[in-house]
Structure 1
Amino acid sequence: MRIYDQLLQFPLFQGMSRAELLQLAGNTKFGFQKQPPRKTIIREGDTCSQLLFLISGKLEFERQSDDHTYMVTEQVHAPWLVQPEVLFGAQPQYLYTVNTLTEAHFILLSKDEVLRLLDDFLIFRLNMLNLLSTQSQRRAHLPWRRAPKSLRERIVRFMLDHCTYPAGQKEFHILMRHLAQEVGDSRLDVSRELNAMQDEGLLQLARGRIIIPSLERLFM
């Protein structure tokens, strides 16, 4: 696949004409990287100095709570743009750890090249603004949602709020007592509700883990 076909998989380049993509591909210093399976390529807190476009393969995101009492892992597959929101701002640091699950291929774009493309291509600039604005608007809406009415809704809301992408496989590494504290209920009631959800095929319980094969099924 030619590079402009690969770029068109990502929202930042959509809407650009073939001539613009050819010009961009010919004048931009792209990096290319191949990573083996089961390798940590980004650690939470690392400085972000480039955009990583996953063009093939599968990744696992991993993020811990500030008090280290629980951790969430989730899986994504190509095409995927890794944490573009942390390239700029007061704290340009990655928010979560990224591991490869399979062999993964990336296109890399340095911050300097991104700044040049923002200057040179209006559509690229608008796409970046739309991407960041959409994320900001979604997060601004979160405090105004209807409050959960049941324990199950509180559990699902907790899970949804702690995921980067609201679909796909997730895994929560959390003890029952910590989840009970997070949702404001007793450990016994939380255990009963989770077991009921397991009986319905919505999740799987293991020692200190909650495995969710398909997050979107929880709130359908």
Structure 2
Amino acid sequence: MVHPEILCQSPIFRGIAPDDLHELFRQIHYQVKAYQKNDLITMAGDICDRLLIIQQGSVKAEMTDYSGKTIKIEDMSAPWPLATAFLFGKENRFPVTVSATSDVEMVSIPKTEFVKLLQLNALILNNYLNTISTRAQFLSQKLKFLSFKTIKQKIAHFLLEKAGDRLQTVEIQQSQGQLAEMFGVTRPSLARTLGEMVQEGLIETDRRYIKILDKVRMSQLLMG
């Protein structure tokens, strides 16, 4: 069963009242699929011929690099849509492997039916275009991040991106284990590299906070 009161909070349906969204869904064909924690939802390379929206629960997206190492791309939770930028085009395949990190309900809308929604409601079309533009920007940044070869470069890029031009101290929301998974490294390797950066006078750490002591030297790391 679809829940419009949840889906109307999705970037795709933002600004549409639940009753209006319910009426729109009555005009198309869709499915609601249930997954248990750790279930595989899509594999990288699968044909992307439907729009998937998380209605309940959370998932993780992972990618395998050329060395066979698994790298977490991001965590997503309801009511986030999956692979919006890959629904159309010649190579419309899922770019990542998605698995459930909790019990999940997924709304599945075939591409032809989603096109009907775009034709029925201009706000959905506008939301979708904004969403795929934002995702393209995110993926561009992620590719840049994955191009860094050393753990120190990845940490430097991560911290400088979070700090921006004005901040010196950033709050780290992720645990060290989650960061290691995101960087595609082991937790001991991440801890060791953070310790090296402290000893080199690049950063100071205080529980969930990291202070950047030398942004110039941190930026120079990214050029090496």
Q: Distance in 1 between matches of 2:117 and 2:91?
A: 22
Equivalent in the alignment of 2:32: 32
Q: Distance in 2 between matches of 1:195 and 1:55?
A: 46
Letter in 2 for 1:61: A
> Contact 1:70 / 1:175 at 8 angstroms: preserved in 2?
no
Alignment of 1:192-211 (within 5 A): 192-193=196-197, 200-201=206-207
> How far has the Cα of 1:159 moved from its partner?
8.8
Matched positions, count:
187
Q: Does 1:99 align with 2:99?
A: yes
Give the secondary structure class of the aligned counterpart of 1:60.
Answer: strand
> Contact 1:40 / 1:99 at 8 angstroms: preserved in 2?
yes
> Contact 1:85 / 1:132 at 8 angstroms: preserved in 2?
yes
Letter in 2 for 1:174: V
Q: Distance in 2 between matches of 1:26 and 1:193?
A: 57
> Contact 2:47 / 2:92 at 8 angstroms: preserved in 1?
yes
TM-score (norm 2): 0.66
Q: Distance in 2 between matches of 1:97 and 1:195?
A: 37
Q: 1:75 to 1:194 in 2, by over 3 A?
A: farther
Q: Distance in 2 between matches of 1:41 and 1:219?
A: 38
Equivalent in the alignment of 1:44: 44
> Contact 2:5 / 2:18 at 8 angstroms: preserved in 1?
no
Letter in 2 for 1:54: I
Q: Distance in 2 between matches of 1:219 and 1:71?
A: 29
Q: In angstroms, what is the RMSD of aligned CA positions?
A: 4.1
> Contact 1:28 / 1:113 at 8 angstroms: preserved in 2?
yes
Q: Deviations over 1:48-68 (max 9, x none)?
A: 111111111121211122x22
Q: 1:125 to 1:75 in 2, by over 3 A?
A: closer
Q: Distance in 1 between matches of 2:11 and 2:22?
A: 17
Equivalent in the alignment of 2:71: 72
Q: Distance in 2 between matches of 1:79 and 1:107?
A: 10
Alignment of 1:153-168 (within 5 A): 155-157=155-157, 168=174
Range moving further from structure 2, 2-11 or 38-47: 2-11
Q: Distance in 2 between matches of 1:160 and 1:46?
A: 35
Tell me the percent identity: 23
Q: Distance in 2 between matches of 1:96 and 1:47?
A: 11
Give the secondary structure class of the aligned counterpart of 2:116.
Answer: helix
Q: Deviations over 1:157-193 (max 9, x none)?
A: 26999xxxx97544133379x99xxxxxxxx978723
Equivalent in the alignment of 1:208: none
Equivalent in the alignment of 2:82: 82
> Contact 1:13 / 1:127 at 8 angstroms: preserved in 2?
yes
Give the secondary structure class of the aligned counterpart of 1:11.
Answer: coil
Give the secondary structure class of the aligned counterpart of 2:9.
Answer: coil
Q: 1:107 to 1:90 in 2, by over 3 A?
A: same
